[in-house]
Structure 1
Amino acid sequence: MKKLFKTLVITAALTTIATGCGSNAASTNGAGGKVTLILFSTVTNEADQKTLTDVIQKFEKKNPTIDIKYNYPADKYEGMLRVKMAANDMPDLFDTHGWAKKRYGAYVEDLSKMDWVKNLDPAMDPILKDDKGKVYAYPLNQAKDGITYNATLLKKYDIEPPTTFEEFMTALETIKKKSKGEVTPLWFAGSDKSSFGQYFDQFLTPLLVTDPKQNYEKQLLDGTFDWSNYTFLPEKLKEMKDKGLLNEDVLTAQVPQMTDLMAQNKIGFIIGGGMLGPSVEQLNPNVHLGIIPMPVIQKGDKPVWIGGERHTLAVWKDSKHKKEAEKFIEFISQPDMVKEIAEGTSLPSGLTNTDAKNYYSKDYEKFKDSKVQPYFDRLYLPSGMWDVLGSTGQELLSGSMTPDQVSKKVGAEFKRLSNQK
């Protein structure tokens, strides 16, 4: 079986960037008339990588004249793709990871004439289509992010999954009290600043967008937003730390620890974490997780999912092998493949042509009437702000910044980065 990380592909990709030769020089017909497609994806979870790799191998078996060289460069993905965009040297197939129109729109082939488009989930239309009908990418799955909770612990402590921020705070305090400090109410892998970016980004939508009486979309888009309205979130994060509701090693904890700790019933809640369930189940089948939409912040508002596209595949518009690339997308858009990918990644399908079941299916069905709101940063923040959200979270919890200082810095960076457009 092919290794998940193809060193030769990474080396070749970096070499072509350095020499100025196009990646499609590596995808020209080889011996025996084979066509090689270069595929880049942002999948990092081992189960997701295996799922995508298995699907690729099934396609290659049915199409022996096409070889797909796949690459999962994890946190190096965006840097590598930015270099490739600058050189107009994109992979034949690549993941747009939430930026199908804004970042990659000028590089993608229009897929609107493909058969699968008629089965595209309408929730994906604003993210993958434009008003002229262009379809920017194929959705391998779609994100419905919220808060993941340890259902086993909540049942033990007689805690209902929270629907408001106030209930969320009460649930955290109840876990600390009833577990006598043995369970971390809210756990962050804080050595990775993106874990704090996730907290801010997911809660910004119910704070500033979804409630009609507290809607700041216009001000965010025209640059007049008063960032003192952001202070609520860093204040609450600091309050959680001061009350001992976060893990003691919040600034040094690492992502791989999360699965083990959750499987040991040592964690109550995780922000996001939608792909955690199957991994925990493998370690401890007696621990069950659930997922809920984002608790509301403004009184009278309704919970929403945060999401849109999770993993996609776009076809480079200048690829020499667009026909073969579209053939692969046609293959994975068949109902059996759609089902395999959705269930293998534990996320809802991006198409409506199959009834895929995954770890959180019951939760998604229970909250099927909750709307899906796009990730806040993708709509309202300039490029580079994700790092600002995360790093200020780290500075806040290290004690080097106050909540007010966090808001002022985020506002200043918003203005600076907006002016760089």
Structure 2
Amino acid sequence: MVNLKAGVALVAALAALVACGGTEKAAETPAAGAPRVLKLWHYEGADSAMGKAWAEAVKQFQVTHPGVTVKFEEKAFEQIRQSAGMILNSDEAPDVMEYNKGNASAGLLSKQGLLTDLTPEVTKRGWDKLLSPSIQTTARYDERGVMGAGKWYGVPNYAEYVMVYYNKDAFKKAGVKVPTTFEEFTAALDTFAKAGTTPLAVGGAEYPAQQIFYQLALSKAQRPWVDAFQLYKGKVDFKGPEFRYAADTLADWVKKGYIGKDSAGIKAEDMGVSFIGGKYPILVSGSWWYGRFASEVKDFEWGSFLWPGNTMSAGSSGNIWVVPESAKNKDLAYDFIDITMKKDIQNLLGNSGGIPVAADTAAITDEKSKELIENFNTLSTSDGLAFYPDWPAPGYYDVLVSGVQNLINGTKTSDQVLDEIAAPYEENLADIGN
């Protein structure tokens, strides 16, 4: 994602985690006696698992680096996504920031020379030993900006995947059981729709709707198709059975009342709030919502399950720490990243509803968190992580948002939408020489 995150602004309390003093590297200060500053950006909500873990990492950094001020700036996912290239090419760049992974995001910035090659630090600090091969895919990019090989330009510090969240109380009231097959899933959607309830909370104005589109495509896909689409290891037929089924089915779900016709204009945040408020019984999105639902859903019992019938789902490492090439305090950035990879920080992340990449699994005691991590492991160990649909080409996120909105609104046919999303993909292949 997306994967791609909800664009949630961070609360001021985290921004206030600031301290002053000196570090063991104080001799490297840019001016005699001048205090050093670690400029940090990320866009995780303060109540999210990652937000809690990174807040603790900031505290530990302050203890181990007395004399360094941590300047944390509130950002939103969309804000960073839209302006990263311009900001990182200026003196305003942070020292370390969370950034979206994939060819169209971190890959593009690495190709443009805007990110620091972290390979020496990865080897020196042993981060490569902590991360499984599948998680490392989104950290490494070749000279074309294609993920999976080449130098390390980012460090994943958590994992994520797309799942189905559901309102247990609403399911019980409607007499719907948790589906284990795709046919049972659509039957559940139909039961709610016929009872006058729109079953799916959908945010068509941002990433969530395209994730449903991708899940539908993956229901007809095998690993070679994903590798062709994401890693350019073959030709993709946009009117083949995968994308054809996704487009036709999504449009059909709108007609059947499974997806609201007004959802094309709904943003991810509003989608999440509507589920929290009990308006919709089902929400399809990423594990990054897990911690927030755990803390904010008060009026009903909820749970989650993998998209029924699929052998693959959208998912990967989470977003990655990157160090801009123009960063002024790279050594401090490396130290901060190192702290976020420590077992106690990773364990905190896991017990707060996140998916750690370097935790002690025996230390994860929260039952809901165990379920979340077990479902991820089911995908990860069976080669079921299919990355996110907006990754393959620069600007592809907006292309997919527009295409899926057209399907929801009924303003374009499936053929027209598939042509619309195929064109920039093919143009990107030509640009990189594939």
Tell whether the 8 Å contact from 2:167 to 2:278 is kept in structure 1 after alignment.
Answer: yes
Residue 225 (structure 1) aligned with residue 233 (structure 2): no
Shift in alpha-carbon separation, 1:28–1:204, aligned structure 2, 3 A: farther
What is the rounded CA distance, in whole Å, between the counterparts of 2:420 and 2:387 in structure 1?
Answer: 21
**Alignment-derived partner of residue 378 in structure 2:** 369
Q: Deviations over 1:344-365 (max 9, x none)?
A: 4x22102144533554421432
Tell whether the 8 Å contact from 1:98 to 1:308 is kept in structure 2 after alignment.
Answer: no
**Alignment-derived partner of residue 67 in structure 1:** 69
Tell whether the 8 Å contact from 2:154 to 2:320 is kept in structure 1 after alignment.
Answer: yes
Task: Note the 1:49-128 alignment, pairs <5 A.
Answer: 49=51, 51-74=53-76, 75-87=78-90, 90-99=93-102, 102-105=107-110, 106=113, 107-108=115-116, 109-110=118-119, 111-128=122-139
Q: CA deviation at 1:228?
A: 1.4
Letter in 2 for 1:35: R
Shift in alpha-carbon separation, 1:370–1:243, aligned structure 2, 3 A: same
Q: Deviations over 1:111-162 (max 9, x none)?
A: 2220444222443133325788854433231112222222333344443433
Residue 151 (structure 1) aligned with residue 156 (structure 2): no
**Alignment-derived partner of residue 25 in structure 2:** none
* Aligned partner (choices 197, 200, 207) of residue 220 of structure 2: 207
The SS at the match of 2:354 is coil
Letter in 2 for 1:173: D
User: TM-score, normalising length from structure 1?
Assistant: 0.78
Residue 187 (structure 1) aligned with residue 201 (structure 2): yes
Residue 137 (structure 1) aligned with residue 140 (structure 2): no
Q: Deviations over 1:49-95 (max 9, x none)?
A: 45423431342144222222223421110233211444597432122
* Aligned partner (choices 262, 287, 311) of residue 274 of structure 1: 287
- Percent identity over the alignment is 21
Letter in 1 for 2:387: Y
Higher mean C-alpha deviation, range 153-162 or range 125-134: 125-134
Task: Note the 1:237-252 alignment, pairs <5 A.
Answer: 237-252=250-265
Residue 409 (structure 1) aligned with residue 420 (structure 2): yes
Letter in 1 for 2:358: L
Tell whether the 8 Å contact from 1:172 to 1:245 is kept in structure 2 after alignment.
Answer: yes
The SS at the match of 2:356 is coil
Shift in alpha-carbon separation, 1:264–1:62, aligned structure 2, 3 A: same
Q: Deviations over 1:151-186 (max 9, x none)?
A: 333344443433443332212012233xx21x3211
The SS at the match of 1:389 is helix
Residue 347 (structure 1) aligned with residue 354 (structure 2): yes
Tell whether the 8 Å contact from 2:350 to 2:369 is kept in structure 1 after alignment.
Answer: no
Shift in alpha-carbon separation, 1:121–1:165, aligned structure 2, 3 A: same
Residue 287 (structure 1) aligned with residue 300 (structure 2): yes
The SS at the match of 1:69 is strand
Shift in alpha-carbon separation, 1:411–1:156, aligned structure 2, 3 A: same
Tell whether the 8 Å contact from 1:141 to 1:347 is kept in structure 2 after alignment.
Answer: yes
Q: Deviations over 1:289-345 (max 9, x none)?
A: 33333334xxxxx5334211223223345644332222222222222122223444x
Backbone CA RMSD of aligned residues: 3.5
* Aligned partner (choices 196, 210, 226) of residue 197 of structure 1: 210
Residue 38 (structure 1) aligned with residue 39 (structure 2): yes
What is the rounded CA distance, in whole Å, between the counterparts of 2:375 and 2:395 in structure 1?
Answer: 35
Residue 170 (structure 1) aligned with residue 170 (structure 2): no
Tell whether the 8 Å contact from 1:162 to 1:168 is kept in structure 2 after alignment.
Answer: yes
Tell whether the 8 Å contact from 2:57 to 2:340 is kept in structure 1 after alignment.
Answer: yes
Q: CA deviation at 1:273?
A: 4.2
**Alignment-derived partner of residue 274 in structure 2:** 261
**Alignment-derived partner of residue 21 in structure 1:** none
The SS at the match of 1:95 is strand
Letter in 2 for 1:370: L
Higher mean C-alpha deviation, range 143-152 or range 309-318: 309-318
**Alignment-derived partner of residue 10 in structure 1:** none
Letter in 2 for 1:274: S
Tell whether the 8 Å contact from 1:293 to 1:303 is kept in structure 2 after alignment.
Answer: no
**Alignment-derived partner of residue 397 in structure 1:** 408
User: TM-score, normalising length from structure 2?
Assistant: 0.76
What is the rounded CA distance, in whole Å, between the counterparts of 1:310 and 1:363 in structure 2?
Answer: 14
The SS at the match of 2:55 is helix
Tell whether the 8 Å contact from 1:208 to 1:217 is kept in structure 2 after alignment.
Answer: no
Higher mean C-alpha deviation, range 159-168 or range 130-139: 130-139
**Alignment-derived partner of residue 3 in structure 2:** none
Q: CA deviation at 1:188?
A: 0.9
Q: CA deviation at 1:222?
A: 6.4
The SS at the match of 1:328 is helix
Letter in 2 for 1:197: Q
**Alignment-derived partner of residue 325 in structure 1:** 333
What is the rounded CA distance, in whole Å, between the counterparts of 2:259 and 2:328 in structure 1?
Answer: 51
Structure 2, unaligned runs of 5 or more = 1-9, 17-27, 142-147
Q: CA deviation at 1:36?
A: 0.7
Letter in 2 for 1:253: I
Letter in 1 for 2:108: R
Tell whether the 8 Å contact from 1:291 to 1:360 is kept in structure 2 after alignment.
Answer: no
The SS at the match of 1:102 is helix
What is the rounded CA distance, in whole Å, between the counterparts of 1:306 and 1:134 in structure 2?
Answer: 24
Tell whether the 8 Å contact from 1:290 to 1:363 is kept in structure 2 after alignment.
Answer: no
What is the rounded CA distance, in whole Å, between the counterparts of 1:164 and 1:93 in structure 2?
Answer: 43
The SS at the match of 1:112 is helix
The SS at the match of 1:146 is strand
Q: Deviations over 1:346-405 (max 9, x none)?
A: 2210214453355442143256333341424366x3212221111111122222111222
